[in-house]
Chains A and B, each alone.
Chain A
């Protein structure tokens, strides 16, 4: 194994060094040929360079070459000259060029090309020679060369017509596994994609085969194999270096049509970094908000709403750890450090059966792996935040670490504010720390550790200090049982808490705290049952422990009486199985079933209420008490996940899906966004689990050889047991929440259109979303009807949304990004008059959510300047300059009403009520 890794290292080393040495020795080629024969072409090159060509003139007699080349390396010239033909070329260190039609040339590597110490080279050579033949299924190649033919398996081992190749697709150099890379066999059309560990299996006819491998951010690659029996092949891909003009990035160009998932958006961090954001800090969640079907209720809110879902209905997973508050500083920044992230997947329609527990969407954020070869890092300085990232090997080629931290230093700025600004004395600070460790024991066993710690504190110009913190730790062991059976075992602990306190008045000084802990354990397996059937199956359990509220005095003078709301505990267990069934290359299905059981556990005292009467203090009939870990209530039922795809042509497909989902943890909030006063509440005998059903249909068309992706998706969703609030509901420190909430049912529907240009000097997307979400409370036994029992828009119903995100490369060092978004203002309930009743002044409110705040419109512009591209320099620098909200529109974030001397006054608050310039400086080392 050790030798094997050394081999990888050497190959990569060789490739880099050979390129460099060629360019140095030969200089570059300048030539102009027009419909020339191979003889004329060769003559031109031989006359200007020391290269000598060897070829069979009869074999290449029919070749005509038209090319205009100015100062390019020979390899590039040959590549362009023979593009689209089956002519292979090879260049040896004596500057001999071999041209062959059809067949591959496997040149031995002459020792003088290795500038490395002689011992190392010899070792690498001996390893390379020992590669053949292989025992089946044992040692894998790291196949990094396109022109080489890789022999897999042992000839004549068995009589079967087909054999299975399995292995990892990795990034050359860092040896990081590439997730979602596609491996495609052109002749039969068979294909597969790597899983979360970069692992793939593919069954093919025996004999010589050509594979095409593609992965996001990597150069497309072809591999030639001769397949004799089952065996492994690891494939190393090279990063697509966008600074070189020759490389065309065609990341996942077919995936929109081909992939089975619908309503799934995947963004890699380079896309995320292009979108301008306030303060110039790349922000995962803000970019997610630009996707069709994803909205937020306001500017400084990081909670997002997917297809008419509430902010608590999204499962936010960061390397399998659940994050409850995905924002910093009340939503100004997202909780994810962009330097740590590799990519982000959002499932809004067909959600794989392995995920459960939320009814709206799954946002899966994957971190990178640290560099296994050398220490590297980056640092960034922004207006209000700074960040530092470090990564490197712990054991070379086996384990690595990735560390990232961000912090804000805005408090000193807040102190400089003038007294009349109204923000004097404001405090705001946050930090987050990420640490990821990876270790590869052998090719079948890998371990990854993710830890995340964040802390926020702000007083929002009030005398109350709000602070909250996320703490997550997860451990994942990946194990390959065989070339067709793969498992991931994850254990983790997630924690979220907030603590708000006020000391303005010593007599009433208090501390209000909430905390949530969950322990997770799960096992996920992938099994390739048959070339047409891939099974995903697994089981998992989540143990919740919530402290819904403690209210304590602060300081010795405080007269506040301590109150504590009983702890809540529950166990949520689930089993799932899903079959990805490829009927043929046009038609495929995914059929999944998830069965979850939710046990609400004691110790707990539960109030009981008279049947058919609204739950309130008066209909309470008694209290039942339950002992430690006694099952108070059980909810269980199956969830169905189905989707299908039919590709009419290579460029057009139709997908449909049906999903049911359930949720047993509910967020209760006086605001519509996620705020540090929200309470999470588990389902209990009085609060039922939320259920949703979604039916969706999508059309996907790619144009101009996959340069342009068009998609149209539509959905209809039904919600059950969504919690809304009774009039006058008080949620903070309420020991009997059920008396202040009502269970509503809802319907949501919408259309999402998107045009996306993923590659090229200009890339970006335009999306339009029409989406509605209505709730209804027409059950008089729950209390007074809301809006006469008719459907009313939910507080986050925003029918129209248009977003444009674009990035134009001006030169290799400059690019401009533009981001425009328009959406309908969200609905609010407003006071529309006042009156006297029973001798006191009362306020008349409109029907629930009858009014809307003004529409939202914003344009951001940013300019990215890369430092010079000299390969050898100590650090690489880049600048981001830009203006957020360039039109300066005062987009209201919220409206609120206060009573001042008996007169009710309304205010609208816009968080970024002006154009905000920003600047960011980044260093990579």
Chain B
């Protein structure tokens, strides 16, 4: 059977084909590129914010690498002086409140701390049309929020939205006590209140892009977000603020490419890799890769509230497990020591002339709404 083993050997060599790590040898200059994120904000008192960072090697576990110490200037084409921006936090640069106008051409010039000078191409400021309305619809699969807008001049065509949403959260019961080292300490009324009412915050994570390029009228209705019919968001009150920007065609395509950008490639079903080159370049070396696009446009915002009463009846059903413990260090430790249960109230009484004290408690997630949100009430609530 010599020949059989020979066959198997051949087949094994074939099938245990080699999969080896592949680390492409990059040019030394191709290891860290400037990433620019932001836009030139037009309008009365508008603040422009630009974030600078650097790309990291693929193998680097670091989350991100802010580019600090750069000098940023917003420049108007034909004007002499620019507006300098200040570094607020690491890599985040903000301008003074300015009054930049639609129709004029603006760019941002960036001088990094290693002395290289970058600039975005001059972009003509675009006035973003006002949001007509932000509405919600009760749809088959949940509640969906739409932003509706139009441009009577048919000039806008390309839209980008972001949103921030907030919803009120209420704990099942108030907590009046705190367990600490075998003892119960009374909470302050403020703390009790802070644990009882909170506000959850969310924001857009995907790039929300829409266009009316193929339509005869520049009118758009775009679904910005959706959630289930019965979620904590609409249990009491929900609010969403949608921000709208009018993009240039180039920036729209840049962001579209960014949206499709994934890290999977080379497989049968994987999409083709996307480029992420925008309108910024090194003035001395136009071949240097710079990621980002700095457009110039104004900002329009609109807020929507959804109250519990606006919606069909909500089947509230909180599942909360409870516990209790006599006021004894050992048993308190057993009931509340882990932190999974928080004490809510105290019961006192007498059994056969012997006074006793009992503490009741519920799961922490039913008592402390700060787990899900913040206690500070938003100004517009």
Give the interface of A toward B (CB within 8 A): 278-279, 383-384, 410, 413-414, 416-417, 421-423, 426, 609-610, 613-614, 616, 618-621, 670-671, 675, 677, 725-730, 732, 783-784, 786-788, 829-848, 851, 890, 892, 894-899, 903-919
Contacts and interface: CB of A to CB of B under 8 A. Distances in A.
Nearest to A913: B18
B18 A910 contact: yes
A830 B58 CA distance: 11
A423 B10 contact: no
12 contacts: A610-B214, A616-B211, A831-B263, A833-B57, A836-B63, A837-B276, A839-B205, A842-B261, A844-B33, A897-B265, A899-B262, A914-B18
B136 interface: no
B258 A413 contact: no
Given A729-B271, A838-B207, A907-B21, A912 B291 contact: no
Nearest to A424: B15
Most-contacted residue by chain A among B53, B63, B262 (CB, 10 A): B262
Given A619-B214, A621-B215, A835-B55, A727 B14 contact: no
B367 interface: no
B79 interface: no
A620 B269 CA distance: 25
Nearest to A620: B214
Contact of A845 (B253, B269, B276): B276
A410 B8 CA distance: 10
A517 to B, nearest CB: 24
B81 interface: no
Interface stretch (B23-31, B163-171, B294-302, B303-311): B23-31
Interface of B: 3, 6-24, 26, 30-33, 35, 37, 53-61, 63-64, 203, 205, 207, 210-216, 250, 253-254, 256-277, 289, 291-292
Contacts of A904: 58, 263
Contacts of A614: 253
Contacts of A844: 33, 55, 276, 289, 291
A897 B32 CA distance: 19
Contacts of A618: 210-214
List 10 tightest A-B contacts by C-beta distance, closest first.
A728-B260, A896-B266, A618-B211, A913-B18, A833-B55, A727-B274, A908-B22, A899-B263, A906-B22, A619-B214
Nearest to B268: A677
A845 B21 contact: no
A847 B27 CA distance: 13
Given A895-B22, A899-B263, A783 B253 contact: yes
A910 B61 contact: no
A903 B61 contact: yes
Contacts of A896: 265-267
Given A729-B271, A912-B14, A834 B22 contact: no
B148 to A, nearest CB: 16
Contacts of A413: 7-8, 11, 15
A837 B13 contact: no
A919 B53 contact: no
B269 to A, nearest CB: 6
Contacts of A846: 30
Contacts of B274: 727-728, 845
Contact of A383 (B11, B214, B275): B11
Contacts of B56: 833-835
Nearest to A917: B10
B205 A840 contact: yes
B20 A729 contact: no
A904 B270 CA distance: 14
B253 A784 contact: yes
B272 A726 contact: yes
A890 B37 CA distance: 42
Contacts of A671: 268
A462 to B, nearest CB: 9
A831 B260 CA distance: 14
Most chain A beta-carbon contacts within 10 A, residue among B59, B270, B271: B271
Contact of B17 (A670, A905, A910): A910
Given A421-B15, A842-B276, A906-B23, A610 B291 contact: no
Contacts of A898: 263-264, 267
B123 to A, nearest CB: 16
A727 B21 contact: no
A917 B10 CA distance: 6
A680 to B, nearest CB: 16
Nearest to B34: A835
A323 to B, nearest CB: 21
B271 A918 contact: no
Contacts of B7: 383, 413, 919
B266 A895 contact: yes
Nearest to A461: B15
A834 B263 contact: yes
Given A829-B273, A904-B58, 16 more contacts: A417-B16, A616-B256, A618-B210, A618-B212, A621-B214, A621-B215, A727-B275, A728-B260, A833-B32, A842-B258, A842-B276, A845-B274, A847-B275, A906-B24, A909-B18, A913-B18
